[in-house]
Amino acid sequence: MDATTLRQTQAPLKQRYRDDPGAALVTLRADGELDGSGVACRVRTATALAEAGLHPATGGDGTQLCSGDMLLEALVACAGVTLRAVATSLGIEATGTVHAEGDLDFRGTLGVDKEAPVGFRDVRLRFDLVTDADDDQVATLVKLTERYCVVLQTLRSSPATAVEVTTSGGGR
């Protein structure tokens, strides 16, 4: 997709959202199935059924996806798509790779140390770009990628999150 095609594709969406801000609010959803055997959750993606389980550092055997890895993969995917969209819009040729890594102290999630955090302590995102863009163009590309990357901004802003439970069946 070139810059013209991207602009033509996005122009009616942008105008609609200017005219009707409520139309821009879209609720994304993800669903999982809790299997009765093992410690796993099956998550349906757009193209496959992914099975998440325990990370080896918490007792898993490494054959299932780790949700922490999936979070970093979502960050890489979002940052990569956002960077490519921004580069296309700016007319910058940029290819390469995107990397994310995060530090976890598994004492927290295993309840070994109540002072240890549950979740990532630090997350690092890195782009290794192949581009002829100058330093100012690369700085603009990265600044706009950071600004518009949904997953990165969500991690940085930590939105309000609600948890709800409904029950049915023989447990009562």
Mean residue pLDDT across the chain: 94
- Supply the pLDDT for residue 99: 97
**Residues 72 and 154 grouped into a single domain:** yes
Q: For residue 13, tell me if it sits in a domain.
A: no
**Residues 56 and 117 grouped into a single domain:** no
**Residues 57 and 81 grouped into a single domain:** no
What's the predicted TM-score (pTM) here? 0.91
Residues 13 and 20: beta-carbon distance below 8 Å: no
Q: For residue 35, tell me if it sits in a domain.
A: yes
**Residues 115 and 152 grouped into a single domain:** yes
- Supply the pLDDT for residue 35: 75
Question: What is the C-alpha separation between 159 and 162, in angstroms, rounded?
Answer: 10
Question: What is the C-alpha separation between 10 and 148, in angstroms, rounded?
Answer: 15
**Residues 86 and 47 grouped into a single domain:** no
Radius of gyration of the chain (CA): 20
Question: Higher confidence at residue 171 or residue 22?
Answer: 22
The whole domain housing 40 covers: 24-65
Q: For residue 169, tell me if it sits in a domain.
A: no
* Domain stops at, among 12, 44, 65: 65
The pLDDT tens digits for 145-171 are 999 999 999 999 999 999 999 998 866
Q: Looking at 36-40, 77-81, 119-123, 141-145, which range is the least confident one?
A: 36-40
Domain count for the chain, please give it: 2
* Domain stops at, among 43, 65, 87: 65
Q: For residue 14, tell me if it sits in a domain.
A: no
132: CATH: 3.30.300.20
Q: Looking at 15-24, 28-37, 43-52, 119-128, which range is the least confident one?
A: 28-37
**Residues 32 and 71 grouped into a single domain:** no
Per-residue pLDDT band at 119 (split at 50, 70, 90): very high
**Residues 129 and 60 grouped into a single domain:** no
- Supply the pLDDT for residue 170: 67
Q: At residue 12, what is the residue type?
A: P
**Residues 126 and 114 grouped into a single domain:** yes
The pLDDT tens digits for 61-85 are 999 999 999 999 999 999 999 999 9
Interval 79-101 mean pLDDT: 97
**Residues 35 and 78 grouped into a single domain:** no
Counting residues of the chain whose pLDDT is more than 90, the rounded percentage is 92
Could you tell me which of 95, 90, 68, 67 has the C-alpha nearest to residue 80?
Answer: 95
- Supply the pLDDT for residue 171: 61
